[in-house]
Amino acid sequence: MKKIMLTGDRPTGRLHVGHYVGSLRRRVELQNTGDFDDIFIMIADAQALTDNADNPEKVRQNIIEVALDYLACGLDPEKSTLLIQSQIPELCELSFYYMNLVTVSRLQRNPTVKSEIQMRNFEASIPVGFFTYPISQAADITAFKATTVPVGEDQMPMLEQTKEIVHKFNSVYGETLVEPKILLPENEACMRLPGIDGKAKMSKSLGNCIYLSEEPEDIKKKVFSMFTDPTHIRIGDPGKLEGNTVFTYLDAFCKPEYFPEFLPEYSNLDELKEHYKRGGLGDMKVKRFLNNVLQAELEPIRNRRKEFQKDIPAVYEILKKGSEKAEKAAAQTLKEVKDAMKINYFDDMELIQEQSKKFSE
């Protein structure tokens, strides 16, 4: 079986370091292994409109921001197909048929959708499109016959929903759709990177992000304003690591080579953590180290982005070509789906003969 990767992001803002450790970094690594037959990276504008219907301009403006972030991180259009979701009408058609395979109560149980509804104060007025986005996500994944979906932890319920749709479809209509596998980050801190305010998830919609394209001064300001351990008041006090955002970020970003470069008095992160727990290590020193680490990680990304920014029409051209290629793949799957569902009347010679016979008797 072919190895196909699909994943994507909503164009609701520039991409942030949560996206990077949760999915982007992994995509680039996987892309560069050369192990995949096809890689589809989707800018999910139709999904972004499900909770931004009254703000299409925001979505429109952020398409290019997300595309630039992709290229800046090392997604290479020669190896990965970059596409815009709304340009693939086949995805809507697939969603429409999958809707018959899912119950309202099943959607209501989706924990990510539940918390997103709360976060957006949608309780009394949930747009139907938003409520059903897990189904459209199943269409995205299956349209490209994805076998691997590298995403953050919040996407687990979406992958479960997709697998259920695949099973249901295949059992009713015959083996047609491919079951995808979720690929979560290996490191606990990267599953769901918290915001700089310590809140459960860094999210464009919560405004608690460090963006990939952030300027050095702003990165520094954000790092120094970060949530730590509120009971660690004096340097001598013992400090806690749980819920301490600065250490969570170090877990997500620190590499062994950063110690000799920026903090040679420690040989590794465990030693730094032990000292913090014992007491005698101030927040400022840890924040200075994290700032250096983040600056080192983000500088090459920011510089590459600036290069791509010089030729914006070329970036749109990449998205156009990618969307065209993606549409062909989705059209093939849609054809297979319609064949399986027997809604391919005009190609079905057997049906036409059968009906002719029936009416001539």
Q: Which residues bind ligand ATP (CB under 6 A)?
A: 9-10, 12, 18-19, 22-23, 151-152, 154-155, 192-193, 201-205
Rg of the chain over all Cα atoms, to the nearest angstrom: 23
Distance CA 149, CA 184 (A): 8
Helix, coil or strand: residue 285: helix
| Sheet strand arrangement including 148-150 | 81-84, 38-43, 4-9, 148-150, 181-183
CB-count burial class (<10 Å; 0-12, 13-18, 19+) for 174? exposed
Shortest distance in whole angstroms from residue 358 CB to ligand ATP: 51
Shortest distance in whole angstroms from residue 155 CB to ligand ATP: 5
Written as one string, the DSSP assignment of 84-118 is EGGG-THHHHHHHHHGGGS-HHHHHT-HHHHHHHH
Shortest distance in whole angstroms from residue 359 CB to ligand ATP: 53
Distance CA 146, CA 128 (A): 26
Long-range Cβ contacts of 31-34 (<8 Å, 24+ apart): 31/5, 31/74, 31/75, 31/76, 31/79, 31/80, 32/74, 32/79, 34/79
Token couple for 211 = 């963006």
Shortest distance in whole angstroms from residue 195 CB to ligand ATP: 7
Shortest distance in whole angstroms from residue 280 CB to ligand ATP: 31
**Pick 13 or 239: Cβ nearer ligand ATP:** 13
Distance CA 226, CA 194 (A): 11
Alpha-carbon torsion (80, 82, 85, 86), positive or negative: negative
Shortest distance in whole angstroms from residue 118 CB to ligand ATP: 13
**Pick 9 or 283: Cβ nearer ligand ATP:** 9
CB-CB contact of 240 with 273 (8 Å): no
Distances (CA, A) of 276 to 41, 186, 220, 227, 253: 40, 25, 21, 15, 18
**Pick 201 or 273: Cβ nearer ligand ATP:** 201
Residue of minimal Cβ distance to ligand ATP: 22
Shortest distance in whole angstroms from residue 9 CB to ligand ATP: 4
Shortest distance in whole angstroms from residue 100 CB to ligand ATP: 26
Shortest distance in whole angstroms from residue 322 CB to ligand ATP: 18
Token couple for 101 = 């395979």
Shortest distance in whole angstroms from residue 146 CB to ligand ATP: 13
Q: What φ, ψ does residue 268 adopt, rounded to 5°?
A: -160, 180
Token couple for 283 = 């927040």
CB-CB contact of 90 with 143 (8 Å): yes
